[in-house]
Structure 1
Amino acid sequence: MAEIAGVMKKAGLVWLAWGGGRPLPAWFATVDGSYVVLADRSGSAEQPLPGLAAAGTADVVVPAKPATNRLAGWKATVRRLEPGSDEWTAAAQVLRTERLNAEGLDTQLERWKTEADLLVLEPTGVISESAGQWDDRSRLETPAGSPATTRGKRPITFHRRSKRRPKLS
């Protein structure tokens, strides 16, 4: 548990995988030694983590600051906090201060009660990856589908720069 706490202090976000799906990034907050994430429930503007509340368990991957490396990976049980409870209120207040680029701060907690789930990631004690202890499986995945396309022909440009550059001296 001390190793998990040490790497989580260095992280700003984690990658969560559950139910055999592809890992998704999630920002989190530490509340009384627990790790709390906010998961969108109704397609609102909060972070989309579909199905995490019902998953029961999740794999947590903590990335290093240069995002090409991993610090650690661990297993967590997922527990939903009941809206309006003391634990929910305490976690919501901490998440509120950690939430970047939030809009509607005056109604944020009321929106979270109806449109989002506050989930606690509790470490099971199983560390799947740590420094010097990596598995050999490939991390390559196909890109997620997107309606984005590559651009077509370059537009016509008037007043192009001359190919002959003037002498500087």
Structure 2
Amino acid sequence: MTTEQAGAEIAAVMKKAGLVWLSWDGRRAAPAWFAAVDGAYVVLADRSGSAEQPLPGLAEAGQVEVVVPAKPATNRLAAWTATVRRLDPASEEWTAAAQVLRTERLNAAGLDTQLDRWRTEADLLVLDPTGEFTDSAHAYDEQTRTVSPSGSPAATRGKLPFILHRRPTRRTPLS
């Protein structure tokens, strides 16, 4: 597959996606929303622990694997690699990408100060496709892609709490 064909296939797959899963430096994949800007894909990565999407270390990563989920989110549509490039907040490219991201950002708080906040607290990162597919929709193999959930202190183990006015488990017949 040539680079142009790979770019066209990546563009077709990315049109169907609302978000992607990014995996870099051996880390667990993290969901990220993105916007397409001039054939490249831009993500916003939080730098200082603010309310933006947390993607720690992505700005320093050289490459990232981008996994595009299918609409029923139980399957992969494709997976491809990209190089990561940080945009300079003083450049016109940053302003153009930020304007496109701003329109894609749903439920944003503080729209009047959003771009200033992004300049100081976040990184705009461009994911440039390398043309290498690591997984595609038509390439099935026996490899399992299930991952056990990460540990969380929110998990409850043990006996369920007592519930008042619970319905009886056995219902009496109507006749």
TM-score by length of 1: 0.90
2:36 paired residue number: 30
Amino acid at match of 1:110: D
Is the alpha carbon distance of 1:120 and 1:157 closer, same or farther for their aligned partners in structure 2, counting shifts above 3 Å?
same
For structure 2, list consecutive stretches of 5 or more residues without a partner in the other structure: 1-6
Match of 1:47 in 2: 53
What is the aligned counterpart of 2:103 among 81, 88, 97?
A: 97
Shift of 1:2: 0.4
SS at match of 1:25: strand
Q: Could you give the per-residue CA deviations for residues 116-143 of structure 1, whole angstroms, max 9, x where no partner exists?
A: 0000000001111112224543212221
Q: Report the RMSD for the aligned CA atoms in angstroms.
A: 1.9
Q: Once the two structures are aligned, what percentage of the paired residues are identical?
A: 71
1:153 shift after superposition? 3.2
1:156/1:3 Cα in 2 relative to 1: closer, same or farther (>3 Å)? Answer: closer
Equivalent position amino acid for 1:81 in 2: L
Shift of 1:101: 1.3
| Offset at residue 23 of structure 1 (A) | 0.7
Contact 1:39 / 1:48 at 8 angstroms: preserved in 2? yes
Is 1:153 the counterpart of 2:166? The answer is no
* Structure 1 alignment gaps of length 5 or more: none
Q: Does 1:109 align with 2:115?
A: yes
Q: How many pairs does the alignment contain?
A: 167
- Normalized against structure 2, the TM-score is what? 0.87
Aligned to 2:81: 75
Large movers: runs of 4+ above 4 Å = 160-168
- The corresponding residue for 2:68 is 62
- Measured against aligned partners, the alpha-carbon deviations of 1:82-105 in whole angstroms (never above 9, x if no partner) come to 112100001111111111111011
Counterparts of 2:9 and 2:118, CA distance in 1: 31
Query: Offset of 1:166 from its aligned partner?
Result: 9.2
CA distance in 2, matches of 1:20, 1:164: 53
